[in-house]
Amino acid sequence: MQEKIQRIKAPQLVNRVVTAEEAATWIEDGMTLGLSGFTRAGDAKAVPTALVNRAEAGERFKVNVYTGASLGSNIDKMFAEAGIVNKRLPFQAEPVMRNKINTGEHFFVDQHLSHTSELLRAGAIDSIDYAILEAIMVTEDGLLIPSTSIGNSQAFAEFADNIIIEINTAQPVELEGIHDLYSPNQQGDREPIPLTQPNQRIGTMGIPLDMDKVKGIVFTHQLDSPSTIVAPDEETQMIAGHLLDFLREEVKAGRLSESLMPLQSGIGSVANAVLHGMIDSEFHDLVVYSEVLQDAVFDLIDAGKVNFASACSLTLSEDKMKQVFGEFEKYRDKLILRPQEISNHPEIIRRLGLIAINTALEFDIYGNVNSTHVSGTRMMNGIGGSGDFARNSRLGIFVTKSIAKGGDISSIVPYVSHVDHTEHDVDVVVTEQGYADLRGLAPRERVPLIIENCAHPMYREQLWEYYNEALERGGQTPHVLEKAFSWHISFKEHGTMKMPLKAQI
Ligand code: COA
């Protein structure tokens, strides 16, 4: 216990240690919780679990759950199964919770990840009753040092009425020093955010705590859930290859150097594979300014390709976690973790000129992208940071495989069934077939490029048939509106988007 208490260096907090069970009893029906955690990293683990245990023992209550992004440690799964969620925001990626959202059993607000703290600051969403934040320690001068993610923890600490701290002794203390906390003022009373280089520190090493708000401190000892990324396959490697070809053309044209511009890469297997593709490329002295650092970034650091990486969370596979935390000194001066409103801030993304690579579920012949809704209605994960980055980056790139479900779904459709990123925010689309550079092209110029370079050959004729019929009707962006969703309807009714030509319903 003495060793644990040493993690609480602020003397006035030492006597606030409680059990997770006791802390969980403070939470009442109708409250709003702000939980640390971003893409399975740095989530509060013990108090949320104790809260689920209350529900399993028969208590009936519901809470609103705000986080940084998705949670690990099965928290979202247990919350969903226990039926204790009224509203969840701004992101999740958990199958049981996804089902509950899609059956309407609880509400989900799918939010740009840089927006949550602004909405709290403006008082525009329910305020937080309890922030429950994972930390590795609290310093003498009252700074909470987060663990493997920062996410929204700073905003939750700032705007919550009460704070519960979970000090996780399984998280490496070596993380102290990699965080950089900065909180902008109210809008209307704000200076430019003084960050002009990805490796710049602009704030404090931890989250400044209002000691009076700290109601309890709980000790835990549990590693983060490892990431679930699958290794690159043939198709994701081909996507990476095409993306590298596009970047090479940019270098040839003198628009980029071989060090490119700061890279952002989204979540998921495809985005991870794309970064992996950089390892054996000629690109060098790369810098990452992203929201999640997955395994590939550390492989790139090891390969001497990436000099510096800034993000708001570290989400690693089990083996990578062991390796990175086992030799953290090697990485310490190459990493900064920031709050998600800074990692995803439009002002900074535009200033730094990011190359943003995110994944689409589907895109259409004009370049609109759907990243969230399967067949236009069923939530997958959420928009996450993809909108923050795509809209404001120098190059907004979307990648996807050209077909899904063994070819019964074409990821290139006449009209996306849900729009997350409009044609105005999308610069380049890439599949395993090739890439289409849409910059400066009118809608009618984009169509041939998208069909011929990106669509799977088995769907090209069908796309041409749709477009040719649309052309007969004219317009800046020609469509046959009554057939625009015929591909999705065909999949629902016949299990495939493949239709006999001249028979699009
Ligand atoms: N229609 C229906 N399902 C589709 C589809 C489509 N057009 N395209 C892909 N899918 C399915 C796949 O078949 C797969 O299903 P499975 O889990 O049953 O096997 C699933 O979607 C995931 O596809 P996969 O190709 O493995 O991609 P991924 O792991 O890279 O994830 C997203 C892709 C879009 C779901 C994911 O990147 C995401 O949630 N993005 C939005 C948030 C975001 O971009 N954040 C970035 C900032 S960090």
- Give the atom of ligand 1 at the shortest distance from the alpha carbon of 359: 37
Q: Which residues contact 291 (CB under 8 A, 6 or more apart)?
A: 38, 39, 69, 113, 264, 311, 312, 313, 340, 343, 344, 384, 385, 389
- Measure the CA–CA gap between 340 and 333, rounded to whole angstroms: 20
**Identity of residue 358:** N
Ligand 1 centroid–CA 411 distance in Å is 11
pLDDT of residue 505: 53
- For ligand 1, mutation pick of 114, 359, 432 (most atoms within 8 Å of CB): 359
pLDDT computed for residue 473 by the predictor: 97
Q: Cα dist. 112→15, 18, 95, 195, 481 in Å?
A: 39, 35, 21, 21, 29
Buried b (16+ CB within 10 A) or exposed e, 30-57: ebbbbbbbbbbbbbbbbbbbbbbebbee
Cβ–Cβ under 8 Å, residues 120 and 155: yes
Q: Which residues of the chain have pLDDT under 50?
A: none
Of 101, 233, 380, 401, the one to substitute when testing ligand 1's pocket (max ligand atoms within 8 A of C-beta) is 380
Q: Omega before 90 cis (within 30°)?
A: yes
The model's pTM: 0.97
Ligand 1 atom with the smallest distance to the CA of 69 is 48
| Ligand 1 centroid distance, CA of 253 (Å) | 33
CA of residue 133 to ligand 1 center, whole Å:
29
Q: Give the amino acid at 227.
A: S
Retrieve residue 442's tokens: 């009118």
Q: Is beta strand 292-293 parallel, antiparallel or unpaired with respect to 313-314?
A: parallel
- Protein residue whose Cα sits closest to atom 26 of ligand 1: 269
The H or E element spanning position 81 is: helix 75-82
Strands (E), 98-142: 107-108, 130-135, 137-138
CA of 360 to the centre of ligand 1 (A): 7
Contact present, 248 and 71 (Cβ < 8 Å)? no
Atom number of ligand 1 nearest to Cα 290: 48
DSSP of 458-492: HHHHHHHHHHHHHHHH--SS---GGGTTHHHHHHH
- Pocket of ligand 1, candidates 70, 243, 267: which has the most ligand atoms within 8 Å of its Cβ, to mutate? 267
Of all protein residues, the one whose alpha carbon is nearest to atom 28 of ligand 1 is 268
Show which residues are catalytic: 291
Give the position, in ligand 1's atom list, of the atom nearest the Cα of 271. Answer: 30
Look at residue 268 in the predicted model and tell me its pLDDT: 76
| CA–centroid distance, residue 29 to ligand 1 (Å) | 34
Q: Residue 132 and residue 23: Cα distance in Å, rounded?
A: 10
> Going by CA atoms, what residue is nearest to atom 8 of ligand 1?
361
Query: In angstroms, what is the span from residue 418 Cα to ligand 1's centroid?
Result: 14
| CA of residue 361 to ligand 1 center, whole Å | 5
Q: Which residues line ligand 1 (CB under 6 A)?
A: 266-270, 291-292, 358-359, 361-362, 371, 374, 380-381, 383-386, 401, 404-405, 409, 411
CA 91 to ligand 1: nearest atom: 42
